[in-house]
Structure 1
Amino acid sequence: MAEHGIREQILELFLADPQTILSGEDLSQRLGVSRAAVWKHIRQLRSLGYQIDAVPSRGYRLVTQPDLLLAAAVQSGLETRVVGCQVEYFAQADSTNVRAQELAEQGAAEGTVVIADSQSGGRGRMGRCWSSPAGVNLYTSIILRPQMVPTQAAQLTFMSAVAAARTFTAVAGLDVQVKWPNDILVDGCKIAGLLNELSAEMESIHHVVLGIGANLNMTREQFPDDLRRPATSVLLETGQPVSRVAFAQELYRQLDTLYALYLQQGFAPIKLAWEALFYLQGCRVKVDCGAEVFSGHVAGLAEDGALLLDLDQGGSQVIYAGDVIAAE
């Protein structure tokens, strides 16, 4: 058994019934390792911030736990059908999307979740850098294997956005909005971003990776000085830190529910939910597509996730990529 696996299994046993006192002998027998090995891994958990007390002549008891996104902590009480069936935690990763892509190519099950405490190469849309300091936010990617054609994959971006928005409301009480195509905002400030990537052939998808970065407990000083747009966090909005474990669990529950809905009823209910959160729905906007700028009223989403615009001069325009801002 891998060293990392032993630590996770010990934590799982503690979390299964936090009031239970587990003896070193019992842990040794359950895990098939020596009592010395059990002691070593308990010391490791303590070094991570878990308060595990020794009860004389009886064993060990978990007293308190840190807000650390270990697999055992995230899966404890999760009770989802697909999302979170397997959790892979990394203290540091180049990018959770990169790790998830690697795992997917190795055959990881649908619903496998990748979490990193920090990222050295976090990415946003169009290759933009995503600031990823340790210990404060949620950086996660989820592997899905839907049976669909590649042109439908963008629909899952909007499913992710609805799940993230509902999670901010459920966990932190925040009134959030979505921005096309992949941002979550609070009063115009970005609080989360999405990056979905896929592996596909002409007519079928091998897998989709849903990447989500959520700003939870970042202070103002932790944001980069060169941000293109103003950003915020749950801590800055509410004045209170939020449990990263609780946020991750709620996010995976929301995704699990919406994915089941999507598989049963298609894009229509997801589209309606997203449009209800889109702060520019029905508004007059300008869309900067680089080579051209379009002005008009937002008509909604197309089936492939494109933005539909009723142009000021008449007619309509389908927008596949661009920066949307409210028109004055």
Structure 2
Amino acid sequence: MQSEIRKELLDAFTNAREDFLSGQQLAELIGCSRTAVWKHIEELRKEGFELEAVRKKGYRIIKTPEKITADEIRLGLTTEFIGRNIHYEESVESTQKIAHRLAAEDVPEGTIIIAEEQRSGKGRMNRKWHSPKYTGIWMSLILRPNIPLTKAPQLTLLTAVAAVQAIEEMTGLNPEIKWPNDILLNGKKITGILTELQAEADRIHSIIIGIGINVNQKKEDFSEDIQETASSLFIEKEEVVSRAGLIRSFSKHFEKLYLLYLEQGFFPIKILWESYAISIGKVLKARTLTSTIVGRALGITDEGVLKLEDDTGVIHHIYSADIEL
């Protein structure tokens, strides 16, 4: 009940934009007493929110905390279900591990798990993902789509499109996608995506998408072995970017694309993905588990599989590989 009051309070401030809301207005909007409103406002202040209180006018939020709290994400969130249920942790081993547990407990679709720090973050093929405190977005998203098992990888590509659109909206920068799950700025990786399943042989129980975005790291925050290949939005834009704002933007774009995907299938997502792809028309080296294939990227199939044409004209379908430009 307390968390529902908090959600409704933040929704009220979101809808009011810059306007003041009186204690009486808030109590009527939320359906609680003015005393309860005051208690929740004091809790927001303790979390780092700055609220302006003016006699006969009421309250408005003028500054949000630097840490990503669930309340800060909700303030301004416009989605119907993505990000509406938030599990927040200060420090975790991995948001994916928590997401798997919560998915098994049947939490609502669209639940996000967010942490300020991951001690054992991972990417594809169990590679370590560097997740320092208070600098990036380390989150997992729980979905329950009614789609065949074979189509699950398409959601990785959908997630990449949503992340690119959110970064564009928040920064004005123009990131590009490297198949299947990397987002680059000026040739350096800023985002990784990891898709995992809870499924039986013929049925998906849940899809858990892990998203790591390097937001406000400085160059020295990266270990020396990745400084030449990794970057952050701060390094590329030379400005601090609101992490909570980026999560809200991602949630909005993801929900729109996800509903489109469920209604119309992968084709409209494919068109968007190819428009952001760095690799189309370029010669790539694809290292699979069994071989290395060099060829020109023709695009992706209607299923999301990468097509490479080698120098003999043979078209190879790449389902999983490390890609080198």
What TM bracket, shorter-length normalisation? 0.7 to 0.9
Distance, in Å, in 2 between the alignment partners of 1:202 and 1:83 is 27
Distance, in Å, in 1 between the alignment partners of 2:244 and 2:289 is 40
Counterpart position of 1:226: 225
Aligned 1:265-276 pairs, distance under 5 A: 265-276=264-275
The residue identity in structure 1 corresponding to 2:127 is R
The residue identity in structure 2 corresponding to 1:283 is K
Counterpart position of 1:20: 21
> Any gaps of 5 or more consecutive residues in structure 1?
none
Distance, in Å, in 1 between the alignment partners of 2:82 and 2:211 is 14
**Range with greater deviation from structure 2 (209-218 or 223-232):** 223-232
Distance, in Å, in 2 between the alignment partners of 1:71 and 1:195 is 22
Counterpart position of 1:155: 154
Aligned 1:112-131 pairs, distance under 5 A: 112-131=111-130
Pairs aligned (count): 321
Shift of 1:123: 1.2
Counterpart position of 2:321: 322
Q: Which TM-score applies when normalising by structure 2? A: 0.86
Shift of 1:153: 0.1
Judged with a 3 Å threshold, the aligned counterparts in structure 2 of structure 1 residues 108 and 216 are, in CA distance, closer, same or farther, namely same
Native 8 Å contact 2:296 2:309 kept in 1 = yes
Counterpart position of 1:82: 81
The residue identity in structure 2 corresponding to 1:151 is T
**Range with greater deviation from structure 2 (247-256 or 284-293):** 284-293
Native 8 Å contact 1:199 1:208 kept in 2 = yes
Shift of 1:312: 1.4
The residue identity in structure 2 corresponding to 1:202 is A
Distance, in Å, in 2 between the alignment partners of 1:151 and 1:57 is 59
Distance, in Å, in 1 between the alignment partners of 2:256 and 2:57 is 42
Aligned 1:1-328 pairs, distance under 5 A: 17=16, 19-22=20-23, 45-52=44-51, 62-227=61-226, 230-289=229-288, 291-326=290-325
Shift of 1:10: 6.4
Judged with a 3 Å threshold, the aligned counterparts in structure 2 of structure 1 residues 61 and 78 are, in CA distance, closer, same or farther, namely closer
The residue identity in structure 1 corresponding to 2:209 is L
Distance, in Å, in 1 between the alignment partners of 2:31 and 2:79 is 26
Q: Secondary structure at the match of 1:165?
A: helix
Q: Which TM-score applies when normalising by structure 1? A: 0.86
Distance, in Å, in 2 between the alignment partners of 1:162 and 1:15 is 26
Native 8 Å contact 2:219 2:227 kept in 1 = no
Distance, in Å, in 2 between the alignment partners of 1:10 and 1:266 is 37
Identity between Structure 1 and Structure 2 (%): 36
Judged with a 3 Å threshold, the aligned counterparts in structure 2 of structure 1 residues 267 and 62 are, in CA distance, closer, same or farther, namely closer
The residue identity in structure 1 corresponding to 2:105 is Q
Distance, in Å, in 1 between the alignment partners of 2:22 and 2:166 is 34
Distance, in Å, in 2 between the alignment partners of 1:324 and 1:54 is 55
Native 8 Å contact 1:185 1:191 kept in 2 = yes
Q: Deviations over 1:272-310 (max 9, x none)?
A: 211121111122222222542211111222344332111
Judged with a 3 Å threshold, the aligned counterparts in structure 2 of structure 1 residues 286 and 86 are, in CA distance, closer, same or farther, namely same
Q: Secondary structure at the match of 1:92?
A: strand
Shift of 1:55: 6.6
Distance, in Å, in 2 between the alignment partners of 1:59 and 1:177 is 45
Shift of 1:225: 2.2
Shift of 1:44: 5.5
Native 8 Å contact 2:115 2:139 kept in 1 = yes
Distance, in Å, in 1 between the alignment partners of 2:105 and 2:276 is 36
